[in-house]
Amino acid sequence: MPQNVLDFLIAFVLQAWSYAGVKVIVCHTLINVAVAIAVALKTNSFELGRVGEFLIRKLAPYVLVYYMVKVAGEGAGVAFLAPIVWTVIEATLTGDLLDNWERLGLPLPTAIQRFVVKRGYTVSPR
């Protein structure tokens, strides 16, 4: 890889990492990966290659979309879009996490159950 391309990639990653929203998305995605691995181990369906696939399919697009909206929004005067995009990404990651949590057979805390909607109905506390 040419040095200037490598320098660009390093600068891009460092710049993206400087945003708190990117850090939260990355950490949340890593938590999701850990819980998904636990589910896969429980169901005897763990495949190491799927971990990389998940990171490429989820982490890269989420980080890139948020970063681009954050940077472009600041430059175009529509910075209010970045928190909206971040909230949608986090809601999606939270939904994935809660689904996997339930697949592990763990009950959701009562405080969280009242906010969870499944198939159009709010889950009632147990």
H helix or E strand, kind and range, residue 118: strand 117-118
Q: Which pLDDT value is given to residue 121?
A: 47
Two tokens at 1? 């890889």
**What integer pLDDT is reported at residue 2 of this predicted model?**
64
| Burial grade of 4 (CB within 10 A; 0-12, 13-18, 19 or more) | exposed
Q: Which two tokens stand for residue 74?
A: 């600041």
Which residues make Cβ contacts (< 8 Å) with residue 106, sequence separation at least 6? none
Give the residues of the chain that fall short of pLDDT 70.
Answer: 1-2, 117-126
CA distance 3 to 35: 37
pLDDT at residue 27, rounded to an integer: 95
Task: Using alpha carbons, select from 25, 20, 14 the residue that is nearest to residue 63.
Answer: 25
pTM: 0.81
